[in-house]
Amino acid sequence: MSTPSRPDEHWQRPYWHASGENAMLLFFVFGDFGGDRQPLADLLALPADIKLKRYAHAALKSWDGYPLAGSLGEVFEDEAPRALAAAREAPEVLRLAGTVNDPSDLHYLRDTLNAITRLLDAGAVAAVDPQAAGLFDRRAWRQRFLGGAGDSLRQHVLVLCDDDPEDARFRWIHTRGMRKFARRDLSLVRVPAAEVNRAGALCQQLVDMLALGGLFAEGQQLPVDGLPGPLTAHLAGDPDDPRFYNTHVELSWPG
């Protein structure tokens, strides 16, 4: 089955500036891929920088990064129990992963998503996006990434709301998944509870801006209508920070 394509402009980055960062993709696909060991990467037309590895499922279950166990498995148990059960029964796992140096367009992401769609259309039972804590069967994948709201790049990023790590009177709005776009994740701190919806909407708008190539500079100020002052960007973190597994931009809510 062919994969629906969108106009090429959807995959451009009109705000792109060189960052020196690498985009990092990581997906797992569960299914029975048959006995033919012909390189699937060639059949799927994966980008050159994205590598495919094929595993017997049983060999991965004791691996530290096994995506169906631990905290991710608990999330999937709540959000997609049927897909999780099917994935756990699948005999094989494909790991699609790689880095792309400072990409000025999103063709690498488009081609990887298309490859996963082909696998699901051909009978794979589930795909996992661990960077955004997502588990999808074929229908959910198509709904999320190939139609309707899937046209928004923010579908690839998880936006979370937690207690502020420094002061529980406030909220912390933060993202996971911006490494797909070679961009820092977002961390909005000291957000009053009454401003959570506004902060969440702002965070989603900033995700789109960054995914399309935008950058924050250290000390850059971001005016927001209705707030008493601008948000000021501070570049922080490192790729091993377990809150993001990425560097991040910290923006403190004014007032």
19 and 92 belong to one structural domain: yes
Helix (H, G, I), strand (E, B) or coil at 154: helix
HSE (CB half, 13 Å, CA atoms) of 28?
A: 23
> What total number of domains does the chain contain?
2
Domain boundary (123, 151, 179) is at 151
Is residue 189 one of the residues assigned to a domain? yes
Structural domain that includes position 126: 8-151
Is residue 83 one of the residues assigned to a domain? yes
Is residue 86 one of the residues assigned to a domain? yes
Can you give the pLDDT at residue 147? 55
Rounded-to-integer distance, Cα 131 and Cα 109, Å: 14
189 and 223 belong to one structural domain: yes
The b/e string for 28-51 (b: 16+ C-beta within 10 A; e otherwise) is bbbbebeeeeeebbeebebbebbe
Question: What's the CATH number where 122 sits?
Answer: 3.30.70
Domain boundary (113, 132, 151) is at 151
Tell me the per-residue pLDDT of 30-79, one tens digit each, with 9 for 90 and over.
999 876 655 676 678 899 999 999 999 999 999 988 999 999 999 999 99
132 and 202 belong to one structural domain: no
137 and 162 belong to one structural domain: no
Q: Are 155 and 204 in contact (CB under 8 A)?
A: no
37 and 140 belong to one structural domain: yes
138 and 60 belong to one structural domain: yes
- The letter for the amino acid at 4 is P
Is residue 29 one of the residues assigned to a domain? yes
Name the pTM for this structure. Answer: 0.91
118 and 138 belong to one structural domain: yes
69 and 175 belong to one structural domain: no
Can you give the pLDDT at residue 45? 87
Q: Are 189 and 166 in contact (CB under 8 A)?
A: yes
Domain boundary (151, 182, 201) is at 151
Can you give the pLDDT at residue 193? 95
131 and 183 belong to one structural domain: no
Can you give the pLDDT at residue 2? 45
> Taking phi first (over 0 means left), then psi (-120 to 50 degrees means alpha), and beta for anything else, what does residue 75 get?
alpha
116 and 41 belong to one structural domain: yes
Q: Any idea what the Cα angle at residue 98 is, between residues 152 and 2, rounded to 5°?
A: 55
Split the chain (255 residues) into runs of 10 and give each run's mean pLDDT: 57 93 96 72 85 94 93 95 97 97 95 94 96 95 71 87 93 96 97 96 95 96 92 94 93 91
Can you give the pLDDT at residue 1? 41
Can you give the pLDDT at residue 150? 43
Can you give the pLDDT at residue 43? 74
* Residue for token pair 């560097």: 247
Q: Are 8 and 102 in contact (CB under 8 A)?
A: no
Helix (H, G, I), strand (E, B) or coil at 40: helix
> Taking phi first (over 0 means left), then psi (-120 to 50 degrees means alpha), and beta for anything else, what does residue 133 get?
left
Is residue 27 one of the residues assigned to a domain? yes
